[in-house]
Amino acid sequence: MAEDLIFLDRPPLLFKIDKFMMRHRIRGAWRLFESLKRRGYFEKKVIRYEIARGISAHIPIYRPERRWDRYDLLHYEPELIELLVREAEASDAPLTIIDCGADLGLVSMLLTARLKRALRVIAFEPSEDEISLLRKNIGGLPVASEVIQAAVGDYTGRGELRRPEYDAYNQARYVEPAADGSFEVRTLDSLGLAEQDLLIKIDVEGGEKAVIRGAKKTIANAHRVIVATEAHPLVAARTGIDPISVLGELAAIRPFRFIVCETGQTNLDLSRPFFEQLPEKFSNINVVAVSI
C-alpha cells in the first residue's frame, strides 16, 4: 500500500481548519469532519510534520485514530515523555532506546529530540500496517537506528496479531504465538547488548511480563536501565494479569523505584492490586521503573 500513499509536506487546508475548530470547541467541527470523511478527503494522505530540527514524523491521517496535527504530536503522552526525559538526564552516559511495540515511532522520536545522550534507537514493530512509515520515521533520526519487524516476548518463534473485542484500532492488537505466524517473535536478550545505559519502552497490550522475562539478562547487566510500561484496565481484564505483577517481575531482576506518570505516586505496594492503589479511575496509566 505504501506506493499508493500521497505524501504531503503540510496538512491540507480543510484538515487544519477542522482541527482548529475541534481544539477550540467551535460549533460545526464534527459536521465538517464527517463531511470530509464521506468525500474521501483524508484517503491515502500522509503528512510530514517536523517535531524538532532534523526530526520529522510521517502521520497517516487516512486512519481515523491518526488524524493528528503537529500540536497533537508535540503533546503526545506528555507526562510519560517528561518523566522519561527527566530520569534519563540523570546520567551522562550514552543511551540506547529500545522501543517495543513502536507503532509509528513517535515516543522514540520525541525522546531523541530531547535527549542529547541518546545515540541509538532499536524499534520493534510486528504490524505490516505500520512498518513502512516506522522505517521512514526512525530512519530519519540523527542517531544510529534499527527497525526490526518482529514482536518482543519470552520465546523465539512466530506470532500473529489479534484484535480485542473492546477496541477496533490497530494499536490495541496483541500478539499470540502461532507456528505459522506472519512475523517473528524475539527476545531482547537475543540482541546481545553489552553493558550500557538503556531506556526500554514496552507497549505490547498485555505482553509486558513476557517482554521482561525475555530481557532478564539485558536488564540485569545494564549499567542503568529505565523501563516504561502501560497499565490498562481492559487489557488486565482480558489477560488476567494485574499490572502490579509486571512491576514485580522487574523487581525480581534488580532493585527499581517505580513512578506512576499520571499521579506522581512512588509508593506502590507490590503485594496489592495495582488499580486499587490509584486515587481515581484511569483508562490508561504509564509506569516508569528506574534502576537503583
What confidence tens digit (pLDDT) does each residue in 232-268 have? 999 999 999 999 999 999 999 999 999 999 999 999 9
> Would you kindly state where each structural domain of the chain is located, as residue ranges?
2-74, 78-291
- According to the model, what pLDDT value does residue 283 have? 84
Query: What's the pLDDT at 195?
Result: 87
- Whether the CB-CB separation of 203 and 287 falls below 8 Å is answered with no
Look up cell 506512576; give the residue.
260
Angle at the Cα of 46 from the Cα atoms of 43 and 52, rounded to 5 degrees:
155
Q: Architecture of domain 78-291 in CATH?
A: 3-Layer(aba) Sandwich (3.40)
Three-class SS of 211-251: HHHCCHHHHHHCCEEEEEEEECHHHHHHHCCCHHHHHHHHH
CA atoms within 13 A on the CB side of 35: 8
Number of other residues whose CB lies within 10 A of the CB of residue 101 = 26
- The per-residue pLDDT of the chain, averaged, comes to 96
Q: Can you tell me the distance from the alpha carbon of 54 to that of 127, in angstroms, rounded to the nearest whole number? A: 26
User: 25-70: per-residue pLDDT in tens?
Assistant: 999 999 999 999 999 999 999 999 999 998 999 999 999 999 999 9
pTM > 0.85: yes or no? yes
Q: Is 166 helix (H, G, I), strand (E, B) or coil?
A: coil
C-alpha distances out from residue 11 to 75, 77, 107, 211, 237, Å: 18, 22, 21, 37, 39
pLDDT of amino acid 2: 54
Joined together, the cell numbers standing for residue 150 give 518482529
Q: What are the residue ranges in the chain where pLDDT is below 70?
A: 1-3
3-state secondary structure string across 42-92: CCCEEEEEEEECCEEEEEECCCHHHCCCHHHHHCCCHHHHHHHHHHHCCCC
